[in-house]
Amino acid sequence: MEKTNTVETQKNLPDKRFKAGSITATVWLNNIEKDGKLASYSSITLERSYKDKDGNWQTTNSFRSNDLPKLALVAQKAYEHVMMKAEA
57-72 tens-digit pLDDT: 999 999 999 999 999 9
Mean pLDDT throughout 13-37? 93
pLDDT in the model for residue 10: 58
What is the DSSP track for the chain?
------SPP----EEEEEEETTEEEEEEEEEEEETTEEEEEEEEEEEEEEE-TTS-EEEES---GGGHHHHHHHHHHHHHHHHHHHH-
Contact 25, 17 (CB under 8 A): yes
Name the band, by pLDDT with cuts 50, 70 and 90, for residue 20: very high
Name the band, by pLDDT with cuts 50, 70 and 90, for residue 2: very low
pTM of the model: 0.79
Cα 79–84–85 angle (5° rounding)?
100
